[in-house]
Amino acid sequence: MSKYTDVIFEIEDAFLSPYAQKSKDTRGRLVPIEPSLTRTEFARDRDRIIHCKAFRRLKHKTQVFLAPEGDHYRTRLTHTLEVSQIARSIGRALRLNEDLIEAIALGHDLGHTPYGHAGERALNCFTHFEHNEQSLRVVDKLEYDGKGMNLTFEVRDGILNHTSKGNAATLEGKLVSWCDRIAYINHDIDDAIRGGIITNEDIPAHFREIFGDKTGKRIDSMVNDMISNNYGKNQAEPSPVFKEEITALRTWMFDNVYSSPIAKGEEGKAIDMIKFLYEYFYAHKDKIPREFLDMDSTLEQKVCDYISMMSDTYAVRVYEDILIPKSWSKL
């Protein structure tokens, strides 16, 4: 270690909650490496994620609206940044490890397919596919030329367990899981209003009374509840009332936004396209790029790896390249 990282460890010992994950107490990496002279291990993981190809591709992956017209709708990348911002704000107030929070948040959706959960459902028609498991596979196996990022246990655990079914080993991981829900519920409401699917007045009155009647107020109320309910405690979850109401608001969103023909009108086409790509590459494995074909995995996994790493726009381009005849001319 260096004098600089020693100072960081001293700051964490003095400032962080006794329930926080201290950087010096990490359970380490699958393959040990030399410590950094200037960064904690969680900060190194954050930086590795930011610089990876899968992170950059998130800017062209669907959040809720499939290929929306307009620059102001969320993508998978902006969703990821909003999760990170909300989680870090809460984590700072709870005196948790912000580097760990940020690394988990930035990496949690790296395994999402093109066209979001529609693509996930399409691949599940052929084999088991869960985006959180694929996110872990991205950082463990697929990135950095098939060598993986070799992230710390705590970051990998948080990525794998960020869904509602998961149970992360650290408070930082548990916090990101809830902030994922807080972020997408609120920004999806904002996008749905912008897209004319709902109006603010369509949101049931008791949700507006509890959380507020604007996006910023709703997020603020949920953030403040997370802070007040967890400060000084070995937990990271909303208060019982807010947990129940957030879950109820999420259910309302599924009934009124996520199943809306305006938001999902093109979803059937996206599912059919992803299914076609899976069947095509399964039957023509020689067309799978070498970086995926050389992986020590089943053919089903190789096909899923290739498709899940595609952006929406690239998936369409591959689909068109397979199906649409090309013009030919002789000069």
Q: Treating both helix axes as pointing N-terminal to C-terminal, what angle do 171-194 and 240-253 enclose, rounded to 10 degrees?
A: 40
Q: Quote the pLDDT of residue 223.
A: 98
Record the tokens describing residue 133, joined without a space. Answer: 């498991």
Whether residue 4 has pLDDT greater than 90 = no
Beta bridge partners of 29: 152
* Residue 279 banded pLDDT, cuts 50, 70, 90: very high
CATH number among 3.40.50.410, 3.90.660.20, 1.10.3210.10, 3.30.750.24, domain 3-263? 1.10.3210.10
Separation CA 324–CA 14 (nearest Å): 63
Whether residue 82 has pLDDT greater than 70 = yes
Top-confidence residue, 265 or 138: 138
User: What would the pLDDT profile of 171-227 be if each residue is shown by its tens digit?
Assistant: 999 999 999 999 999 999 999 999 899 999 999 999 999 999 999 999 999 999 999
Whether residue 1 has pLDDT greater than 80 = no
Whether residue 65 has pLDDT greater than 80 = no
Q: What is the pTM of this model?
A: 0.96
**Least confident interval from 34-38, 50-54, 216-220:** 34-38
| Unique residue bearing structure tokens 């940020």 | 102
Q: Quote the pLDDT of residue 327.
A: 74
Q: Quote the pLDDT of residue 329.
A: 60
Q: What's the maximum distance between 2 C-alpha atoms anywhere in the chain?
A: 75
User: What would the pLDDT profile of 109-167 be if each residue is shown by its tens digit?
Assistant: 999 999 999 999 999 999 999 999 999 999 999 999 889 999 999 999 999 999 999 99
Helices (H), the chain: 3-15, 41-50, 53-57, 76-93, 98-107, 116-123, 131-137, 143-146, 153-160, 171-194, 205-211, 215-230, 240-253, 261-264, 267-283, 290-293, 299-308, 312-323
Beta bridge partners of 75: 62
Which of 128, 146, 130 has its CA nearest to residue 138? 146
Q: Quote the pLDDT of residue 265.
A: 77
SS (H, E, C) 3-58: HHHHHHHHHHHHHCCCCCCCHHHCCCECCCCCCCCCCCHHHHHHHHHHCCHHHHHH
Top-confidence residue, 132 or 71: 132
- Degrees (nearest 5) of the Cα angle 105, 188, 63? 60
What is the three-class DSSP state of 151?
coil
What is the three-class DSSP state of 62?
strand
